[in-house]
């Protein structure tokens, strides 16, 4: 078994990936939301809105937002769970978690939200604790994706729903070519211009190409125990929302 993993198009030792990814997100945390708007032309908001609409989250539910960063999904979940529910915003990166904490507290959410610095591969929560677990644009940065999926499955209640929003593979060849040209020509330049950090956004576009496609990711979720797994292609498959359930 290889002791190397992908870091964009490069191969590095497994032991180095977590710190390299952490360094990237420390560098870009302050401009993360602005860059998301610029890179996606604001479409990331529609993708997340669709994710929330598919969550089934309602008043009183407990929700875990893994790799939740600056709190886009957490904010939407908080509006759904009400005073009797709770949302846990978790992220492995302290700078991203700090941005999310400041944002949600400034929005007035004080009593029904928690902030936990946590590794997706070893979530520090009880078995069957949450009605819904989400991870948006975070799985491709995890060193051992299988471990993260197993960890998420463990903390989900029987009957609970898992939402996995991630960049994926465009379904039309002309769209894929156009998307590749935009990604490699424009996004690193935006990173250099806005964040003074071209390398982090070069990694971003490379990591998307190394991420499993829709059917491969579905199989990985099923191997972790999830049932009734399906996906919805968004923006022609540039992004896909995978959903799955824990029934037992």
Range scoring the smallest mean pLDDT among 43-52, 175-184, 223-232: 175-184
pLDDT at 174: 92
32 three-state secondary structure: helix
Reported as type and span, the H/E element at residue 163 is strand 156-167
Average pLDDT, the chain: 92
Residue 111 burial (C-beta neighbours within 10 Å; 0-12, 13-18, 19+): exposed
pLDDT at 32: 79
Q: Is the pTM of this model over 0.85?
A: yes
What CATH homologous superfamily does 23-246 map to? Vaccinia Virus protein VP39 (3.40.50.150)
| pLDDT at residue 65 greater than cutoff 60 | yes
Question: Which has more confidence, 203 or 153?
Answer: 153
Q: With left for phi above 0 and alpha for psi between -120 and 50, is residue 64 left, alpha or beta?
A: beta
| pLDDT at residue 247 greater than cutoff 70 | yes
């Amino acid at each position: 078994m290889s002791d190397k993993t992908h870091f964009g198009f490069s191969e590095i030792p497994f032991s180095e990936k977590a710190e390299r990814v952490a360094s990237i997100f420390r560098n870009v945390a302050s401009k993360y939301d602005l860059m998301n708007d610029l890179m996606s032309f604001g479409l990331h908001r529609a993708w997340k809105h669709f994710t929330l609409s598919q969550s089934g989250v309602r008043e009183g539910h407990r929700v875990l937002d893994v790799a939740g960063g600056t709190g886009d999904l957490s904010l939407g979940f908080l509006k759904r769970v009400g005073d009797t529910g709770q949302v846990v915003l978790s992220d492995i990166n302290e700078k991203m978690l700090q941005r999310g904490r400041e944002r949600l507290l400034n929005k007035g959410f004080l009593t029904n939200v928690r902030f936990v610095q946590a590794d997706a591969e070893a979530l520090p929560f009880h078995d069957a604790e949450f009605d819904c677990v989400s991870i948006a644009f975070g799985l491709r940065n995890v060193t051992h994706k299988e471990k993260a999926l197993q960890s998420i499955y463990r903390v989900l209640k029987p009957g609970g729903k898992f939402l996995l929003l991630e960049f994926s593979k465009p379904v039309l060849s002309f769209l894929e070519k156009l998307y590749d040209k935009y990604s490699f020509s424009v996004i690193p330049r935006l990173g250099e211009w806005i964040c003074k950090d071209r390398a982090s956004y070069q990694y971003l576009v490379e990591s998307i190409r190394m991420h499993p496609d829709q059917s491969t990711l579905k199989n990985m979720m099923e191997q972790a125990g999830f049932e009734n797994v399906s996906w919805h292609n968004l923006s022609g498959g540039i992004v896909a929302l995978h959903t799955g359930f824990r029934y037992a």
